[in-house]
Structure 1
Amino acid sequence: MDGEDSGSPRLPPVRQRQEVQQQSSSVVEQPVSVPSDLADWIKLNARDLKISQRDRRWAAEMVNGFREHLLKFLKKESLFQSVEFLNTGSYFEKVKIYSPDEFDMMLKFPVLTTTELDGGLFHRIDLVHAPQGPIRDYLLENQLTLSSTKLLTEMFQLVRKFLKTYRGSPLHLHICHWEVNRKTPNSPADLRPEERTTALFIYLFIHVSEESELATRDPYRSRCGLGKKSRREIRNQPCYFVPKRLKGSPTPISRIKLKIITSHGNKKTCCEGHGTKCCRKLCLMLLKSPIEGLKQRFPKELDELCSYHGQTVFLHALACSSFLYLVDALQDHARRGDLPHFFVPECNLFSPTIFHRRALAFLVRALDEQKREGLPLLKPPALVSLLKPSTAAAHIILEKPTEKSSLPTASCLKLTLLFFLVVLFAFCCFWD
């Protein structure tokens, strides 16, 4: 295994799977008396969460053009001839809020055998026989185990090579250029205040066939609050592996999660009921707003917090349809230091090795303050860049358009393509 002897701490199991299913949260949904002014405030801000069609169309056009040209470029390389793109993330789940400032896409890469580590959170990826093709350059010394570092390094170098020739679509040829960001990982100092930023995260995924035991064993797939047909489709989904550092924020990418979230609120797939339209997706969007606001207000104290923690709380609480319940559930999980990964329940996302206890205590106090003050962070945040590339990033810088331009905004827009280089060499399992 790549980095198998690095001596990194193992993630402690939360509890046995059966106990997790029975006690995923100690908060029980009760009828809540909501003051009329708070209810009006929530409804008012709920209307402003969705991205406008004009902004969505313009950003998607830029991202799709980049994706198509990059895929053609990669297919010329022998190692990546069979890759394909899969869309994932909050934008494609239709729960992205305020502006289209982030896209997640997956590069699918085939693999043969896996070995489970850390209770299913990490896996070692092996080939059955020693290969003769170009993949040999990306194996460890045993000539069977894939090296995540070598694969990602090669991928990063290929994208840098691609950026030297790519100039964008003809419609945007005169308003954009590309540059490589050499700033420190946590510094957005190269962005001007009037600029908006859109990030396109591209992850290299390892595909596991649908026949694999890993693809169908998780009972959580049937506990998603959807109709029978949607649950059956979810159970038949394959799973993927992504190169990931052992310690740090969870990677918020999951094809199963995308299927669950996009199905809610759809009258053909959601709950199979005939009553009031499901509002769970809107509740999740509302929960993302104070999480993003808290991270912007307290970047140092809540550096480990991310939207995936809110999404995990949402997945555990699919039986409820109350935004305030989700806020209480997030606070309860933080208070107990116990948030089981929805798809790998042996992993605790609030474990001390992942989320510092002081940060959890700070999060509990911050949520208390928000509830006392009437959730002021539901208000859309100011337009500033919050990108924190892990190692390096490649930017598209769009110059300020002329007055006759048909672009939806006069502000400059940066599309940022991030590629992560792992520190610990393991493959992190994320269900499809």
Structure 2
Amino acid sequence: MAGRGRGRGRGRGSRQVSTESTPGLEGKVKATAAISFEKKNEVVHTSNSRKQAASRPQESPTRLGTQQNGSNARKPSTPRQNSSDMKQEHLKEKKGIASPQASTVVPKRMPNNGTTKMPDNSTVDGAEKPNDIQSNKKEYVRKGSEPQEDSQRSIVRPGPDEAHRLYSETSKRLRFVVQNLRLKMDDISIAASKVNDIVNQILRSEDITKHPLFAKIEAMNTGSYYERLKILHPNEFDIMLKVPVERITLTPFEKTGKTEKSGAYYTLALKRMSKDDPWRLYIHQESRQILQSLVLSDLRKIVKAALKRTGYNITIQRKSPKSPAITFEIESKPENISVDLVLALEVNQSWPEAVKDGMKIEEWLGTKTRKDLRYEPFYFVAKKPGDISETQDVDDVWRLSFSNIEKEIVTNHGHAKTCCESEGKKCCRKPCLKLLKCLLELIKIFSRKRCLGVFCSYHVKTAFFHCCVDKFLDQDWKKEDLGSCFDRLVESFLKHLENAQLPNFFIPSHNLFDEFPENCFQVLQSEIRKEKSLNYPIFDHITVR
């Protein structure tokens, strides 16, 4: 179990050392006297001499200068040994070899008192450390885990009852962390009201309402905030701006030099267009495929103009070539709020063939639920493949998205329909997901390994979905078993890292790790296993609220 690894022994077969051991010179004198006494009695072996030898206390064969169970403690009397055997034992002890009579010592449990600290005011790539990560916070110390002197440690193997107690203690500690990850209601209200007001002003602007294509645009709240999975501070919002598109042909995109199709990327061509169809301005004239750059460019201009009239102090971030979002920052206290507006093309037709074997939630959420969800619309976002050839034109490539379905699954996550509702039992699925998201985020902050930047919360959520499919019963996620359930989720994520395989939950043929450098997997594995072995001391950087 995490945080209960074995401590190092004190030598081969060695015994626990007393803090008041006999000086080395005195030990040598006593050992020599014992051997001389045995030589004198070697010739005569009578019953009386055996009785006397048996009743005489002997020095235990420990290392020179040490004794067992205290400075004056002696080993219980034993039958007389052959003098040659005792001489051999004495010679072995003199050379540092353990006696066969020495008792076996069980490796100690390494204490975890949550004292791992980071330097104050540490930075990541020149940026100041977030306010919620403080290395000088009040430490959370588990009961019974305070450091002790070696001579006072209780060295026992935990039995079933002890193991259960340790798991209970871990669950208690992790619940403490989850409690401190919750957002304050005041912070939520202030941040959400600002974001909603700005988005509503954008959608009501004349540039939107009178635009031939964007007049039908609607906001769809997605992401961790609206799934109630946001941790630490409510400073990031993801909002999809969905635009309906009808009668399109989906063609799987093939990368140059690769024959297989991931099933995640497509080109979208309109089947029929009237003369006044607004999409005519945003398609390739020959292929009739919708072009990313044209749609995003117009939408960005409209949003930028609308933001200037909102009355808020807003900064629009520079356009990123790899991001499908229009990002802006709202000036706010205690920290600014970042908003990503993601254009999404809404499609109401049969799901693509690549999705047929995905979303295997029949045992977890039910066959009917899966069937109903497959009638929901799906979306395409302007996200390009990451490892494409520089010579390959991908302006007409869109990535499949099921953000709406993910939100539905996270919200209604129980095998029983009443799971985590007011009248139902509580599970620990969402707390486990929050903890793993937090673990990844903290590791990325404090390890300062640039290669870890490729990992994001979506990978954690995908691994969580797969784990929920494997362990689909609510009793597998009991609230009181948070410690063991979180360990199981961590191990599941580590297996994906070890195999460099994380299948898209909806598109099994799409490996989310396919475009990542090989070394990043080993680095993240090492960091997570180190934290797990020490019972996640990195969580002690979460601010006590």
Matched, 1:95 2:258: no
Question: Residue 531 of structure 2 aligns to a residue in which SS?
Answer: helix
**1:123 alignment partner, SS class:** strand
- Report the alpha carbon displacement of residue 38 of structure 1 after superposing the two structures with TM: 3.1
Determine the structure 2 residue equivalent to 1:123: 266
Change (3 A) 1:191 1:204: closer
Amino acid at match of 1:95: L
The equivalent of 1:178 in structure 2 is 314
Structure 2 unaligned residues grouped into runs of 5+: 1-162, 254-260, 323-328, 388-398, 472-476, 478-484
SS at 2:309's partner residue? coil
1:306 maps to which of 435, 456, 463: 456
1:278 Cα offset (Å) = 2.2
Amino acid at match of 1:264: H
* Equivalent position of 2:538 in the other structure: 377
TM (normalized to structure 2)? 0.56
CA distance in 1 between counterparts of 2:229 and 2:496 reads 22
- How much has 1:101 moved relative to structure 2? 1.8
CA contact (8 A) 1:98 1:380 kept: no
**Whole-Å separation in 1 of the counterparts to 2:319 and 2:262:** 37
Question: Hey, what does 1:233 align to over in structure 2?
Answer: 372
1:412 aligns with: none
Are 1:206 and 2:349 an aligned pair? Answer: no
Aligned residue type for 1:107: L
Equivalent residue for 1:162, pick from 294, 298, 306: 306
Give CA deviations for 1:270-322 in whole Å, capped at 9, x if unaligned: 499x9842221111111111011112123413010101111011000104331
User: How far apart, CA to CA, are the structure 2 residues paired with 1:340 and 1:143?
Assistant: 31
Q: Structure 2 matches for 1:127-138, cutoff 5 A?
A: 127-133=270-276, 134-138=278-282
Give the 3 Å change call, closer, same or farther, for CA 347–90 of structure 1 in structure 2. same
Query: What is the CA–CA distance in structure 2 between the aligned matches of 1:97 and 1:81, rounded to whole Å?
Result: 34
Letter in 2 for 1:132: K
1:255 paired residue among 404, 416, 422: 404
Q: d(CA) in 2 for partners of 1:183 and 1:138? A: 19
Q: Cα distance 1:92–1:184, how it changes in 2: closer, same or farther (>3 A)?
A: closer
Secondary structure of 2:510's partner? coil
| Paired residue secondary structure (1:120) | coil
Aligned amino acid, residue 155 of structure 1: L
User: Which ranges of structure 1 fall in alignment gaps of 5 or more residues?
Assistant: 1-31, 168-175, 384-432
1:66-103 residue CA offsets vs partner (Å, 9 max, x unmatched): 11111112222222011111111111111111221221
Cα deviation for residue 46 of structure 1 reads: 1.7
User: What is the correspondence of 1:312-351 to structure 2 with a 5 Å cutoff?
Assistant: 312-318=462-468, 319-320=470-471, 321=477, 322-351=485-514
Contact 1:51 1:98 in 2 (8 A): yes
Q: Which amino acid aligns with 1:283?
A: C
Instruction: Measure, in 2, the Cα distance between the counterparts of 1:347 and 1:49.
Output: 32
Where does residue 71 of structure 1 map in the other structure?
A: 203
Whole-angstrom CA distance in 1 between matches of 2:426 and 2:168: 22
**Is the contact made by 2:264 and 2:507 (CA closer than 8 Å) also made in structure 1?**
yes
Q: Secondary structure at the match of 1:220?
A: coil
Q: CA deviation at 1:267?
A: 6.5
Larger CA deviation: 40-49 vs 218-227: 218-227
Shift of 1:136: 1.9
SS of residue in 1 equivalent to 2:530:
helix
- Letter of the aligned partner of 2:522 in structure 1? A
Deviations 1:327-363, CA, capped at 9 Å, x for gaps: 1111111011111111111111122xx2211111100
List per-residue Cα deviations over 1:20-57 (Å, max 9, x = no partner): xxxxxxxxxxxx86555533321211212221222111
Output the amino acid matched with 2:236: E
Say yes or no: does 1:46 pair with 2:46. no
- Ranked by relative contact order (alpha carbons within 8 Å, sequence separation 6 or more), the top structure is 1
How far apart are residue 198 of structure 1 and its match?
2.4
Number of residues of Structure 1 aligned to a counterpart in Structure 2: 338
Deviates more, 1:151-160 or 1:292-301: 292-301
1:180 Cα offset (Å): 3.5
Which structure dedicates a bigger proportion of its chain to strand?
A: 1
Match of 1:293 in 2: 442
Sort the Cα spacing of 1:89 and 1:205 in 2 relative to 1 into closer, same or farther, 3 A: same
CA distance in 1, matches of 2:340, 2:363: 26
| Aligned: 1:222 with 2:361 | yes
After superposition, the Cα gap between the structure-2 partners of 1:204 and 1:277, relative to the gap in structure 1 and judged at 3 Å, is same
Does the aligned pair in 1 maintain the 2:222–2:239 contact within 8 Å? yes
Measure how far apart 1:326 and its partner are: 0.9
Q: Give how far 1:233 is off.
A: 3.2
Match of 2:82 in 1: none
TM-score normalised per structure 1: 0.70
Alpha-carbon RMSD = 3.4
CA distance in 2, matches of 1:50, 1:251: 31
Offset, 1:178: 2.3
Correspondence for 1:106: 240
Q: What secondary structure, in the 3-state scheme, does the structure 2 residue paired with 1:348 have?
A: coil
Taking only the aligned residue pairs, the percentage that are identical comes to 31
The letter of the residue matching 1:312 is T
Task: Give the drift of 1:255.
Answer: 1.0
Q: Contact conserved, 2:365 with 2:414, CA < 8 A, in 1?
A: no
CA contact (8 A) 1:46 1:286 kept: yes
Mapping of residues 189-204 of structure 1, within 5 Å: 196-204=335-343
